[in-house]
Chains A and B, each alone.
Chain A
Amino acid sequence: MTQAATTDTNERQLSYREAIIEAMAEEMRLDETVILIGEDVGPSGGIFKCSEGLFDEFGHDRVIDAPISEAGYIGLSVGAAMTGLRPIAELMFGDFSLLTMDQLVNQAAKIRYMTGGQCQVNLTVRMTMGAGRSSAAQHSQSLHALFAHIPGLKVAVPSCPYDAKGLLKAAIRDDNPVLVFEDKMMYNDVAHVPDHDYVVDLGTAAVRRAGSDVTLVGTSSMVGVALEAADELAALGIEAEVVDPRTLFPLDIDALVDSVRKTGYAVIIDEGVQRYGATGEIAATLQEQAFDYLDGPVLRIGAADVPIPFSPVLEMPTIPDTARVVEAVQSQRRR
């Protein structure tokens, strides 16, 4: 387990988006087999501007504008990864990953295993997640748990600019298919990001706030929700510890158990739909491995059990928020 990065304002500040660009640029400078492929990633710099400047520096052979053929270019990326390149593929919206399921689940995840370890699929797939910008049901989903279910894949969910750079660099260097989910609502978040070369190892959780009364496990933008809830809980005399797993697979279960051992309570917060989701997997694992330390049931807070609606008035109630976390912690202690 590592402590959160410092946010000393005297140090260099970068946005989550700039951290992603820097990660790719550094890796592309270090390793000429790294390429970026995706829709509008070239001269336009992407609809979320997450590849701005890369085309100018690395040219069209390494920063490739793909046609709107998600299954096709993810498929090409798998083949390229097997034959000497180290591709980063960008899916503009995580929802579009559903068009690529055969390539990611049947091919990328299994080829190494099926061939008895003869090859590796060193592929990074970046995609967005997260609701909250009135993009409705096909541009807002958080589908990371779907992929964490698949043996052969790794799944990262960076929650801050420091991790956006460090986890992405680790993903690019990893010799396995790694899916990095970027919450599009965090692209403008600014925090300290070192300008030197560092990685955040996949499978190492971070304690974002220390506390002794309850463990809040938050993923991606839900780390921010958990931290806000922790502030409110502190005013009520409850000291919450906030733990960010950073990757759903590998999952740093030891860090989560260590925290629960100290606090006796846990609430899991994730923006994927709650049913059959990341919250359930983490809660079940804690109950298996930390049962003796628990003083109450592990509670789950995920997105509501509905497709994501368009109107802000309808959309916001479907996303986990601070009030629900505070209420869950209080209800847990009343039992």
Chain B
Amino acid sequence: MYRKMVEIRKFEEHVWDVYTRGWMPGLAHLYIGEEAVATGACSALRDDDYITSTHRGHGHCLAKGARLEPMMAEIMGKEAGYCRGKGGSMHIADMSVGNLGANGIVGGGFGIATGAALSAKTRGTDQVAVCFFGDGAANQGIFMETANMASVWNLPVIYLCENNQYGEHTPFQAVTGVDEIADRAHGFGMEGTRVDGSDALAVHDVVRHAVERAREGGGPTLVEALTYRFRGHHVGDAAPYRTKEELEWWMSNRDPIELLGREMRRRRIATQAQLDEVQTETETAVVAAVEFARQAPYPEPEQAFEDVYSE
């Protein structure tokens, strides 16, 4: 779990670097600061379980099993990318490990994840689906529609709200009628829990419990993970809408990698030297992925006209 979180952090730091050097086109929404949510949740899933991700999706993809090279290649628009350059940062998917895709529409995953859960139930498997979404998506109408169907049909889906406290530039309290999004679960007729989204172990425990219940036919759960993004909405957003003090407090006190590392040292699971080694190894792997992606060829322009329809 520690290694995965470090991998996500380093990956995102390099995306920032790649972006500012002009090596990638488009937009990049970084997951730095939120690593515990994707990692804690996906470590409670099997490969054949499903997730849907968001525009801030790199962390979910890596946590669900995506490899660094095709991730970075996709972000640079290369043929070797997961979507062969057709999706980019906001649309990375890897069906082979149950990642049904990041989504450029806020709330775009609700229907797909709930449909995957309906499919699992209808086909008689015990797969579950986790729908990652943000505090912004919590105010989309389709959340109510799909959560209601999941509740009434007892579908194996976990709605995992990453409340990073800002919907783009707007504080979530300014546009949300409840203090805790988890409270909305009662209105849907399902269980709701809020968890410390900086604590990977806590996220893992809550999600594992929800997954076990869903597998056994216990139906859906709404989990709200309170977290914070350490960077702007996207690379280039200096985030003037929040205070320096607030940002510094979260970075100093609630860095999920620091917190897990401290806990591992406290429980004597790992020494600082071992954790440092993970950092070094991961940095090397991400640097190699950047180099791989830079060297990888672009798709042929004619490929723009392929994959619109399944033949």
Contacts and interface: CB of A to CB of B under 8 A. Distances in A.
B152 A67 contact: yes
Contacts of A45: none
Interface in B104-159: 104-105, 108, 110-120, 122-123, 129, 141-142, 145-146, 148-149, 152
Nearest to A69: B145
Interface string B176-217: 000000000000000000000000000000000000000000
A333 B310 CA distance: 44
Contacts of B118: 76, 79-80, 85
Nearest to A121: B310
Interface residues of B, number: 46
A122 B119 CA distance: 13
A116 B307 contact: yes
A206 interface: no
Given A76-B111, A112-B310, A118 B83 contact: yes
Contacts of A288: none
A171 to B, nearest CB: 13
Contacts of B110: 72, 75
A151 B108 CA distance: 19
Q: Which of B52, B116, B152 has the most CB of A within 10 A?
A: B116
Interface in A58-112: 61-62, 66-67, 69, 71-85, 102-103, 106-107, 111-112
Interface residues of A, number: 42
A107 B116 contact: no
A85 B84 contact: no
Interface string A204-242: 000000000000000000000000000000000000000
A119 B101 CA distance: 10
Interface string A41-63: 00000000000000000000110
Interface of A: 33, 35, 61-62, 66-67, 69, 71-85, 102-103, 106-107, 111-120, 122, 151-152, 154, 175-176
17 contacts: A35-B122, A72-B148, A79-B118, A79-B119, A80-B116, A81-B115, A82-B116, A83-B116, A85-B119, A107-B103, A114-B87, A115-B101, A116-B81, A116-B87, A119-B95, A119-B100, A176-B309
